Amino acid sequence: MSIEPTMNLFVKKTGGWVASQLEACTRCGMCAEACPYYLATGKAEYAPIWKVEPLRRAYEQRFTLIGKLKVALGVEKALTDADLKAWSKVDFEACSVCGKCSGACPMGIEISSLIATVRAGITAAGLAPAGLVEKTEMQMKCGSPNGMCEDEYIKWFDSLEEKTGVKAPLDVKGADMLVVYTSLEIKDKRHNLYDLAKILNAAGIKWTISMDARDAFNMGSIIGNPKVQKELAGKILNTAKKLGVKQILVTECGHGFTTLRDAVPNVFGEELPFFVTHIAELLPNLIKEGKIKVKEGYFKNGHTYTFHDSCKIQRQGGIMDEPRYALKLLAGDTFKEMDSIRENGLCCGGGGGIRSIPEANENRLAAFKLKLAEVEKVGADVVVSTCDNCQLQLKDGFKHYNKAVEVKGLIEMVAEAMI
Ligand code: SF4
Ligand code: SF4
């Protein structure tokens, strides 16, 4: 699809909202001061408000007299495919849809949502980055974007019995909880399956897993393709309904969690018959409620710990107090806070699918440097995160800059400290 029908469709669908948002912009520049890619590179085209310029122009040129006049008099050119291609580089290669710019805007403009709309337009026009298109096709074909197909999941789930003596609870009807992992975990954090089984069994939770709802990853949300988003989320939604669970637990996926919890009710136009939670929320609550016991101060071991707020789980998801409660208990006064935390946390630079776009590596590692500076300032040698994608980016970044900083997930810490 080329830009004309694509932008017409998006502007038509979002016209009023887009107009009210963009007309409120005072060009104050505060969103730019929040954007890690702009701050790290100093490039004017990476300012958040510039990333939504195609939408503003498309709206103005179609629906306002001044816009129509500008095009008719040749003051401004009508947007073309080539323009949108250039914006693909800005909106996909220099933005993690972290949402910090929206929080910084004094006019309350939802800039990151507008950026997501531009990304959807670029994708519909067939101009999304090749790396993301490839991952999307792979997930539609085999269930996971990184090629971890059903046979890999079968082997992983089977390995639970070999490692722990506990059989994987597959498709248990009437279970309380459906646990949904990500293929990043099978690849790089296989122990999450064993550690989480230990925690959930100790807490007396009747949980289940399912081959039909095994990967919370949703390339539709990342690339901005509503059809793909619906199809992938629908698999999990239908499995949860079929099994009759009361809740879905997303292990470490950030956007998978917010897609299921926040987007799915709107996408399907129905109230969910279960609630969606994340390990960042569940594990600390299990400790608080006395359902599992951990050794207090277990991680007071000469290291300094800090916590990385993930954009989806913490800023958007609002799960900020719970992981801190667990970390204070486990690491005591060796847990230190960075300067930019909670809803003001700095993106690690690796979200929004940017890790799947090789052309964005320079931007991604430049943005990571801001996070690195905060980690070094607080003197931490261990960074804890509840998102597996952030953990990969942090590990990558520390390795790239030759820094001896360890990255840990909350699941492994809680399992290790359990009494
Ligand atoms: S969403 Fe984040 S990365 Fe994207 S423009 Fe806004 S601040 Fe920058
Ligand atoms: S912070 Fe808000 S008002 Fe200021 S330039 Fe950015 S979008 Fe416009």
Average pLDDT for residues 273-291, to the nearest whole number? 97
pLDDT of 49 higher than 90: yes
For the chain, give every residue range classified as CATH 3.40.50: 131-287, 292-417
Q: In CATH, which of 2.40.50, 3.30.70, 3.30.420, 3.40.50 is domain 292-417?
A: 3.40.50
CA of 35 to the centre of ligand 2 (A): 12
Q: What is the pLDDT of residues 345-385, one digit of tens each?
A: 999 999 999 999 999 999 999 999 999 999 999 999 999 99
Query: What band does 213 get if pLDDT is binned at 50, 70 and 90?
Result: very high
Ligand 2 contact, 31 CB (< 6 A): yes
Residue 312 buriedness (CB in 10 A; 0-12 / 13-18 / 19+)? buried
CA of 364 to the centre of ligand 1 (A): 12
Ligand 2 contact, 105 CB (< 6 A): yes
Q: What is the pLDDT of residue 13?
A: 62
Residue nearest to atom 6 of ligand 2 (CA): 31
Q: What is the pLDDT of residue 124?
A: 87
Q: What is the pLDDT of residue 53?
A: 87
How far apart are the two ends of the chain, measured CA to CA in Å?
58
The mean of the pLDDT values for the chain is 94
Average pLDDT for residues 171-181, to the nearest whole number? 97
Mutate to test the pocket of ligand 1, among 30, 51, 346 (most ligand atoms within 8 A of CB): 51
**CA 157/CA 149 separation, integer angstroms:** 13
CA of 19 to the centre of ligand 2 (A): 14
Ligand 2 contact, 23 CB (< 6 A): no
Average pLDDT for residues 67-73, to the nearest whole number? 87
> Which ligand lies nearest the alpha carbon of 43?
1
Residue 402: partners with Cβ closer than 8 Å, 6 or more residues away: none
CA of 352 to the centre of ligand 1 (A): 10
pLDDT of 24 higher than 60: yes
CB of 168 within 8 A of CB of 384? Answer: no
pLDDT of 2 higher than 60: no
Least confident range from 13-22, 222-231, 235-244: namely 13-22
Residue 333: partners with Cβ closer than 8 Å, 6 or more residues away: 300
CB of 246 within 8 A of CB of 275? Answer: yes
pLDDT of 408 higher than 80: yes
Mutate to test the pocket of ligand 1, among 93, 112, 222 (most ligand atoms within 8 A of CB): 112
CA of 360 to the centre of ligand 1 (A): 14
CA of 138 to the centre of ligand 2 (A): 37
CA of 117 to the centre of ligand 1 (A): 13
Q: What is the pLDDT of residue 68?
A: 86
Residue nearest to atom 8 of ligand 1 (CA): 35
Query: What band does 79 get if pLDDT is binned at 50, 70 and 90?
Result: confident
Q: What is the pLDDT of residue 9?
A: 65
Average pLDDT for residues 224-229, to the nearest whole number? 96
User: So what's the architecture of 131-287 in CATH?
Assistant: 3-Layer(aba) Sandwich (3.40)
Q: What is the pLDDT of residues 326-349, one digit of tens each?
A: 999 999 999 999 999 999 999 999
pLDDT of 168 higher than 80: yes
Q: What is the pLDDT of residue 161?
A: 96
For the chain, give every residue range classified as CATH 1.10.1060: 3-128
pLDDT of 8 higher than 80: no
**CA 386/CA 378 separation, integer angstroms:** 19
CA of 46 to the centre of ligand 1 (A): 9
Mutate to test the pocket of ligand 2, among 33, 101, 107, 113 (most ligand atoms within 8 A of CB): 107
Pick the more confident residue, 321 or 125.
321
pLDDT of 176 higher than 90: yes
pLDDT of 3 higher than 60: no
Q: What is the pLDDT of residue 177?
A: 98
Alpha-helical (H) ranges within 143-258 are 150-164, 183-188, 191-202, 219-223, 226-243, 254-258
Q: What is the pLDDT of residue 10?
A: 64
Q: Within 13 Å and on the Cβ side, how many CA atoms surround 334? A: 17
Q: What is the pLDDT of residue 80?
A: 78
Q: What is the pLDDT of residue 381?
A: 98
Which structure tokens are listed for 9? 């469709």
For domain 3-128, give the fold: Fumarate Reductase Iron-sulfur Protein; Chain B, domain 2 (1.10.1060)
CA of 156 to the centre of ligand 1 (A): 36
Q: What is the pLDDT of residue 323?
A: 98
Average pLDDT for residues 176-197, to the nearest whole number? 96
Ligand 2 atom nearest the C-alpha of 48 is 6
Pick the more confident residue, 277 or 80.
277
Query: What band does 38 get if pLDDT is binned at 50, 70 and 90?
Result: very high
